[in-house]
Amino acid sequence: MGRKWRMVRTSVLVMALAVAARGLWAQESTPRTILVFGPRLGVSAVLQEPGAFSSDMQKVTQDADRSFFPVFSEVGIGAGQFIPLGSSGTYITFQQAFLVGGLDQRMPLPSAFLTLGCRLPFGLEAGVGPYGTLTPLSGSAEFVLSMVYTAGWVFATPDFQVPITLMFVPIPGYLNPRITLLFGINFWMLR
């Protein structure tokens, strides 16, 4: 009788371990929220005639001896949160970035944005949200709020992601929208 109970106990123990292992495997295959963080580098173009842009920036910087060009560099930092929609590989995205443009021309133009969007399983993503920046208006630099529309592609590796994002910003009252192409590296903070 003791031998029979030992077999029953061993069978129950093996089944319990199998159920626990199956539970751990199922838990690991369930998608989780992903957090990423990393640097951004890019280029912006203000859709304005170069002479008019230079004139506007000369008024803002109060430096009539310099000329400015409506294409300038962007550097900054970005972060993102990706919430899975089931196990399809599609994510709801919340992305934020702080950028400083124009450092190559010694005309720092800070901007920040927040987008809500969607990323498809193969890396295509799009978003929309608020955008704030300094813009030359009425002979001075004013902080304006606008909307940003983004579309991009993300290349993911096991260690990091490489996002490429095209942004379109129609700035109200300025009639010269801004187009930005950003590259970055996202390091995994949580996945």
CATH class of 34-190: mainly beta
Q: Do residues 175 and 22 lie in contact, with contact meaning Cβ atoms separated by under 8 Å?
A: no
User: What is the per-residue pLDDT across 9-39, written as a single tens digit (0 to 9) for each?
Assistant: 666 555 555 555 455 444 445 668 889 999 9
Question: What does pTM read for this prediction?
Answer: 0.79
Using alpha carbons only, give the angle 146, 148, 149 rounded to the nearest 5 degrees: 145
Is the model's pLDDT at 46 over the cut of 80? Answer: yes
**Per-domain boundaries in the chain:** 1-30, 34-190
